Structure 1
Amino acid sequence: MAREIVEQLLGAAREQDIETFAALMAPDGYLEWPYRPPGVPARVQGRDEIRRHLAATADGLIRLGEHRNVVMHETTDPEVVIVEYESHGTVVATGAPFEQAVIAVFRVRDGRIVSCRDYINPLPLMEALASIA
C-alpha cells in the first residue's frame, strides 16, 4: 500500500499535478529538504501550505520531464519507503537541461503521506539558480 501511494505522489510531482499531490498528503504531513540551496525552505508542513508552496514554485525554475532509474526500497517498517531516482527536466528561463539525483524517505500512514524527506543533490539547483541570476 505505501509503495503505491509513493508511486502516485511521484507521478503527481512529475506531472506538476498540485491537487493530486496535496490530496495524497496527510492534513498535517510535511515535505522536508535537509540539504538545499539558499532560498529553499527546510520544511513545508500541512496540506494547505504544501499546496501553496507547490503552486508558487510550479514551472518557476525547473519544468520536470521525467524520473529515471527509479529504485524503490521497501523497509521492515511497512510505513516507510525509500526511493532513489534521477529527476530530469529543463531550466525554464534558459532552456538548459536539468538533472538532479534524489533519495527520498517517505512515511505513509492510513493511505496518506505523513512525511517526505527529500535528500536532493543541491548542486544542480544552485547551478540553475546561478544561470538565471
Structure 2
Amino acid sequence: MSRTPREIFESYVYAGAVSRDADALAEAFTEDGVFEAPLVPADAAFPRRLEGREAIRAAMAAHYARQPGDGRAPNLAKSAYVLHTTAVPDVFIAEIDTVFDGEGRGEDDVTVSLVRIFRVRDGRIARLRDYFAPGLVS
C-alpha cells in the first residue's frame, strides 16, 4: 500500500525535527535514498549530501548528538505547511514555516521558513532536497 505525500512528509518531520530519531529518519528513505541540502557550504558540519540509507542514518545520528541538551523542538501547533503535488506523481513539494517558541523573558517566537522537494518510490523517500538557511544548523 502506497503512502500519501502527507503521510510521507509528516513521518519524516516526526522522525527528524520532532523526535530526532536517526534510525526512523533513515528508514523513511529507500536503501539508495539521497539527502541533499544544496545551500549548506561544503565545509559545514551539517551534511550537504548523503547517499544511501546507512550514510543518512550515521550522519544524522552524529548531527543529533551535537545538538544542545535543551532539545528545543518546533511548536507544531504554531507551525504550518502546504504540500504541493506536481505533474510528476512521485514528486511533491513542502512549503514549511516552522515556529520555535520564544525562550521566555519577552522573547519573540522564531519562524524558520524552508522548502523541501521530495521524490518518492514505493512509499519511501528516494531523494530529498532540503532548502533552508545554512546558518540554522551547526
| Fold shared, TM-score > 0.5 on shorter chain | yes
The match for 2:66 is 60
Identity among equivalent positions (%) equals 31
Q: Is the 8 A contact 1:72 1:81 kept in 2?
A: yes
CA distance 1:84–1:65, change in 2 (3 Å): same
Q: CA 1:100–1:19 in structure 2 vs 1: closer, same or farther (change >3 Å)?
A: same
In the alignment, residue 55 of structure 2 is paired with which amino acid? Answer: E
Give the whole-Å Cα distance in 1 for the aligned partners of 2:72 and 2:86.
28
Distance of aligned partners of 1:89 and 1:49 in 2 relative to their CA distance in 1, 3 Å threshold: farther
- Give unpaired runs (5+ residues) of structure 2: 102-106
Is the Cα–Cα contact under 8 Å of residues 2 and 79 in structure 1 kept in the other structure?
no
TM-score of the superposition, structure 2-length normalised?
0.75
The residue type equivalent to 2:84 in the other structure is: H
Change (3 A) 1:47 1:64: farther
Q: TM-score, normalization: structure 1?
A: 0.77
Deviations 1:9-44 (A, max 9, x none): 111112112221111100110110111144133201
More helix by share: 1
How far residue 88 of structure 1 moved from its aligned partner, in angstroms, is 4.1
* Structure with the largest fraction of strand: 1
Residue 23 of structure 2 aligns with which residue? 19
1:93: which partner in 2? none
Name which one, 1 or 2, has greater alpha-carbon Rg.
2
Name the count of aligned residue pairs.
121
